[in-house]
Structure 1
Amino acid sequence: MRKRDIAEAIIVNNKSEILLQKKSLDYPIIPGGYWSVFGGEIENGETPEQALKREIKEEIEFNINKFKLFRIKDYKLSVGFYGKRYIFEVLFDREIFNIILKEGAGFAFFNISEINSIKLEPLCLEILKEYFQEQQSLITKKRNKLK
């Protein structure tokens, strides 16, 4: 088993849709054809935030400015990796045509109702369910304060 900490991005647009990456068929860690969040390994000497910025720049040519830590979770994969997942919420404040895909087989924005109907990498599905549940909880709290 090899320790491999990773930084991942839940990239959200102004419609509360999540930007996901379709993994290429030859991707060695997640089965090809699955959808997942963008991100990757934290290199030696990098903070999770630095890795996040580097990975997103490498993968979709997007310089992120507005982001916050959402979760830190332990993970273990059958392909021999384990470590911590630093999951950030990232605001995408541009149009989709500004994305230049440099890694993966494709990308798309998905809303909450579409998430369960796509072939989503299991760890990603888990975190997106948590994310959407938390967002719904925040909306409910705001509505209750208005009453």
Structure 2
Amino acid sequence: MNNQQVHVAIAILYQKNKFLMQLRDNIPGILYPGYWALFGGHIEPGETPDVAVKREILEEIGYILPPFVEFGCYSNERVVRHVFHAPLLVELNQLVLNEGWDMGLFTPEDIRQGNCYSQNAGEVRPLGDMHQKIMLDFIEKNPT
């Protein structure tokens, strides 16, 4: 592995003061296996973050992003996360989970608490710490 940072584009999708999160597959070798995180993924070479986030959301849950807004950029030594936000304009059952173990809509309280129940896993699973931080920043800046 080289030491270059990976660039990813992720989306905060919200509906009636709840936020859509993905329970990542519980497989070794991926970041945050079995943790709740935001939908999104790697930016392909030559792709811009806004193009990548649209492609990733479509691939992962079959959702065509409505007009969306950039929220910020979070970077550490391993990953640069380009974060966008958009409303979720369909019901959860209209989304198709193509990637991940589960998905769910969570309240700000769930996110603050840092653990959310997964129907598919049949247990409470933790939020990825970076994803929790991004969500809490967003909730603080966008009080409902």
Tell me the TM-score normalized by structure 2.
0.85
**Residue 111 of structure 1 aligns with which residue?**
107
- Aligned-pair distance for 1:84? 2.1
Comparing both structures, which one devotes a greater share of its residues to helix? 1
Aligned length: 131
Structure 2 counterpart of 1:123, from 130, 136, 140: 130
State percent identity of aligned pairs: 30
Q: After the TM superposition, which of the residue ranges 43-52 and 113-122 deviates more from structure 2? A: 113-122
Task: Return 5+ residue gaps in structure 2 as ranges.
Answer: 116-125
* Superposition pairs of residues 1-147 of structure 1, within 5 angstroms: 1-13=3-15, 15-26=16-27, 28-76=29-77, 82-115=78-111, 116-118=113-115, 119-136=126-143
- Aligned-pair distance for 1:60? 0.3
- Aligned-pair distance for 1:31? 3.2
CA deviation string 1:17-57 (max 9, x = no partner)? 11000011115232322100001111111110000001001
User: 2 CA distance for matches of 1:90 and 1:27?
Assistant: 30
User: 1 CA distance for matches of 2:73 and 2:61?
Assistant: 23
Matching residue's letter, 1:101: L
**Residue 118 of structure 2 aligns with which residue?**
none
User: 1 CA distance for matches of 2:35 and 2:137?
Assistant: 19
- Aligned-pair distance for 1:117? 4.2
